[in-house]
Amino acid sequence: MSISVRFRTLFDFVKSHLFQVNLFNTGTQNEEIIRDERRTSRLYVVLLIISLMILTLYYSVISYSQLIIIKSPTVDQYYSVAEYISLDCPCSTIAIEYQEFVQIEPHYHELCQSDFVSDEWIETLLDLYEERWDKSIATDFAGLAVFQFRAIRSLCQLAKDRIDDDLQLFQYTYFITSHLISQELFLDQISSSITNFINVTPKTFLRTLHFVQDITAQSLFMTGAASPSVLPIEQYRNRLYIDFGIIPYPGNTYAFADGSTCVCSSPTATSCMGPVTFGSNIVPGFQTGCYMLSALMNSTLEAFYNQTFIDIISSDSGDTFQRLNSSNPNLKFDILLSQMFVNVWSNTTSFENYFQKCAPTLCQYTINQKHNLWAIILILVSLFGGLSAAFRFLTPILILNVWPIISRMIFRRRTQLPQPVINELIPGNFHR
């Protein structure tokens, strides 16, 4: 027997049984009632099958949102669901100090950690000054180096202290979030805060320093270090004018080794500067002038990368001082100061520490997913009872009340259709 014949046989079997099925059997022997009961059964089965097919198709196509809640999540659990846009993790602690998850460390220029800010180096320069003060000129390294390097040491220490204070203030600042933010956003915000701190701190420091410089210049104040005739205190002890509290200031004109001159009492005193000499030689990169700090800002540390020069300076002290090793000896001092002597800022930011301090009590997110086969079966089973009851109630009404009306309308429409008119042709004479 061929497959087509088998299908035909099966179809006829199902059809015959479907036409004979009676799910609304009342036990009556009335053929008219039995016929209506079978019609009702067929309509009931067809409506039920169509409804189940539509529901199956509907739940197979649509997706639904499911809320997932993770209580007391760990950081690893958070990472596993971090890609969900709807992820929300309320923090149990909303204000967290930066020091809990950020570490910032400045790496200073070697100058501020070198022998040139040590007590031994300052003492060596002071001995050189006391030894040669009466033999030196205003631009002589021996007469001004001790003051310049004391200033360098003070500026290094001042910059370090200011950075330490500002770092402490920054680390005690609160980072406020009521909900855990994503790792990417967290790192961006912290990076922005750190960059702002690194940029603002030197500007504030320099603003104060420049204010002092401007006040000093506008008032034409002269410090002892700026005077070419300052004497060691030992040289004054046997002088008569020391009893009257008078310290002489006879000179304020500079004549530099490059041939330029300037007067410290003039409005251009702040720009009055030129090269420093040691003996008959110019000290490379080092400057002096009316205002020691202004001259220092315009100087470089080129000479202090030369070990021979350093050994000559310290030859009488018995101490050995190591030259600088930086790769940029021509960098001006004002550039170093504008960076607060910091070569590099390093920082580490820990999202894990932030997560631990935030301590979310839960994380929740929604996912969109499609119903699987078992879910669809469960849905259909749960709906089957309701559909069956509804169709058991509706189908008898449709068959007993609605179907007769429809049947009569169809019958009436058929009886009112116009009958075709057949014209009989009667033979006659045709005249041309």
294-315 pLDDT, tens digit each: 888 899 999 999 999 999 888 8
Q: What is the mean pLDDT of residues 399-410?
A: 76
Res. 426 pLDDT band, cuts 50 70 90: very low
Task: State whether 211 and 323 are in the same domain.
Answer: yes
Query: Of 15-24, 74-83, 198-207, where does the model show the most confidence?
Result: 74-83
Q: What's 316-381 look like in SS3? A: CCCCCCCCCCCCCCCCEHHHHHHCCCEEEEEEEECHHHHHHHHCCCEEEEEEEEECCHHHHHHHHH
Q: What is the mean pLDDT of residues 350-378?
A: 92
Type and span of the H or E element at 38: helix 31-61
Mean pLDDT computed over every residue of the chain: 82
Q: How many CB atoms lie within 10 A of CB 334?
A: 15
pLDDT of residue 220: 52
% of the chain residues with pLDDT over 70: 81
Query: What are the CA-CA distances from residue 260 to residues 139, 256, 279, 294 (Å)?
Result: 12, 5, 18, 17
Q: What is the mean pLDDT of residues 380-402?
A: 86
Flag the least confident range among 127-141, 283-297, 312-326: 127-141
pLDDT of residue 251: 44
CB of 262 closer than 8 Å to CB of 253 = yes
pLDDT of residue 221: 52
Task: State whether 387 and 293 are in the same domain.
Answer: no
pLDDT of residue 104: 96
Residues 6+ apart with CB under 8 A from 77: 70, 363
Res. 363 pLDDT band, cuts 50 70 90: very high
pLDDT of residue 143: 84
Residues 6+ apart with CB under 8 A from 101: 175, 190, 349, 350, 351, 353, 354, 357
Task: State whether 212 and 326 are in the same domain.
Answer: yes
**Would you say residue 47 lies in a domain?**
yes
Type and span of the H or E element at 97: strand 95-97
Task: State whether 131 and 275 are in the same domain.
Answer: yes
> 19: number of CA atoms within 13 Å, CB side?
5
137: left (phi over 0), alpha (psi -120 to 50) or beta: beta
Query: Of 47-56, 136-145, 180-189, 387-396, where does the model show the most confidence?
Result: 180-189
Condensed to tens digits (0 to 9), the pLDDT of residues 114-125 reads: 999 999 999 999
Domain that holds residue 294: 105-159+200-346
Q: What angle do CA 148, 152, 153 make, to 5 degrees?
A: 120
Task: State whether 278 and 143 are in the same domain.
Answer: yes
**Would you say residue 195 lies in a domain?**
no
**Would you say residue 253 lies in a domain?**
yes
> What is the greatest pairwise CA distance in the chain?
174
How many folded domains does the chain comprise? Answer: 2
**Would you say residue 217 lies in a domain?**
yes
Q: Tell me which DSSP letter residue 241 carries.
A: G
User: Which residue is it, tokens 């846009």?
Assistant: 85
Task: State whether 247 and 282 are in the same domain.
Answer: yes
Res. 399 pLDDT band, cuts 50 70 90: confident
Q: How far apart are CA 114 and CA 307, in angstroms?
A: 13
pLDDT of residue 101: 96
- Residue from 136, 152, 149 nearest 278 by CA: 136
Task: State whether 399 and 266 are in the same domain.
Answer: no
Q: How far apart are CA 258 and CA 138, in angstroms?
A: 14
